[in-house]
Structure 1
Amino acid sequence: MRLVHQFGIIAAALLFLMAAAPAPAEAIVDPRDQDAALQARKNGELLGLDDIREQVGRRVGGRFLGCDCDPHSGRYRMKYLRGGKVVMVDVDARTGDILRISE
């Protein structure tokens, strides 16, 4: 009986933590930004993510975690995991040039 009670407390605590967790970034991305980025890519205004990811990955190293594109500023913000730390890399989406690396 005591085991069932402990399990119930643990389950309730886990549910509480899950409800309090923020939504993943992907869930709050503005679809208009995605549409604009896709259109800019089709028009040749932005380099493709695969090309930039390969180029940046060689320089930054680590494991690629994800990326956001702001078609209005023409920048990719890429995330890498390197040495146990998240590294943010701002990249010019038109040229592939690394603008800033934040560790």
Structure 2
Amino acid sequence: MIERPDPHLLQAYADYELWTHDDNCPITAQQLGECVVIGSSIDGDFLSIHPQVEGLLWLPTSKPWISLRHPYKHWLSGLNSILPQTYGLKMSISAWLFFIL
């Protein structure tokens, strides 16, 4: 779900250590609290951005690592890439939007 940007949502999660912040993580634990959530899934996963990171940050609730999704020219292109990789969808998000709208 695309959401109104929320700069405070992940501040509450920063203290719980839900995700691993090692050398492979694109952000630090401190930066997690600075992220702005721009979307979420029905499963509670978050899509966020950080001003010092180029790209989209995918924060799954079912896995302990945060992944960096490279920047996209258009948000719909990003969703068309992220959703099939994460959920195994065989239809693009633009096709789903067509059915919903």
TM-score range for the pair, normalised by the shorter chain length = 0.3 to 0.5
Of structures 1 and 2, the larger Rg is shown by 1
TM-score, reference length from structure 2: 0.35
Kindly indicate whether structure 1 or structure 2 has the higher relative contact order, using CA contacts under 8 Å at least 6 residues apart: 2
